Every structure is written in structure tokens, then in C-alpha cells.
């Protein structure tokens, strides 16, 4: 257990003060950082090989701008969320929500 906590960057004293749930959370965070590091390394290797084959290099400013950009989560309207809930409700055999106009008040 201490070896695993050490891989996550915790000292033995910190690891002994943590609950199992906290240690799992630290482990998940460490794994997410490692996955992101691997994804970035694979991106660099792939593009390095692609640039070797290219006759003309792409614009560096555009490449660097795309590197740090992440996709934003989709903005959903309350009506869209309600349709999703109604669909899940139907799949699990729940009662219909009815046609009341008050259905959307809980989403706002």
C-alpha cells in the first residue's frame, strides 16, 4: 500500500492518514495525469513522423494553438435535458411525466 501511495506522490505519513477512498482518489488522479502525459507523447511522436514525410510544414502557430485546446462540453437547453430524462424513464419502465407546463420548472 505504501509503495502505491509513493507512486502517487504521497509520503508514508500522508498515506497512513488517508482513508481507502482518499487513496483511490489519489490513484485515479495519478492515472489521469499519466494518461494525459501518454496521450501528449503519442501526439508528438505521430506528428514528428508525419512532419518527416511532409513536403511543407504546417503553420506552427496554428499547431500550437490546437495543442492546448480542449473541447467544451455541450450546452444543453432544459428542454433537451427533459427529453433525455423522458427517454431514460421510458427505457426503465417509469411512469410518464405528463403534459404539465411545470415539468420544466425543476430544471431552471
Domain ranges of the chain: 1-70, 76-108
Render pLDDT for 67-106 as a digit per residue (tens, 0 to 9): 766 666 676 788 888 888 888 888 888 877 666 555 555 5
Whether 108 shows a pLDDT value over 60: the answer reads no
pTM of the model: 0.47
The CA-to-CA distance between both ends of the chain, in Å, stands at 45
Task: Report d(CA 98, CA 105) in Å as an integer.
Answer: 14
What is residue 60's predicted lDDT score, i.e. its pLDDT? 80
Quick one: which of 61, 67, 65, 107 has its CA closest to 83? Answer: 107
Render pLDDT for 30-66 as a digit per residue (tens, 0 to 9): 888 899 999 989 988 988 898 899 888 888 888 777 7
Amino acid at each position: 500500500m505504501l509503495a502505491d501511495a509513493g507512486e502517487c506522490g504521497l509520503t508514508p505519513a500522508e498515506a497512513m492518514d488517508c482513508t481507502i477512498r482518499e487513496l483511490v482518489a489519489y490513484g485515479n488522479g495519478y492515472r489521469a495525469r499519466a494518461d494525459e502525459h501518454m496521450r501528449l507523447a503519442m501526439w508528438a511522436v505521430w506528428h514528428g513522423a508525419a512532419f518527416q514525410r511532409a513536403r511543407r510544414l504546417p503553420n506552427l502557430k496554428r499547431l500550437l494553438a490546437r495543442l492546448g485546446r480542449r473541447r467544451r462540453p455541450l450546452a444543453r437547453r432544459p428542454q433537451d435535458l427533459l427529453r433525455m430524462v423522458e427517454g431514460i424513464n421510458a427505457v426503465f419502465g417509469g411512469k410518464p411525466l405528463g403534459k404539465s407546463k411545470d415539468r420544466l420548472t425543476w430544471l431552471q
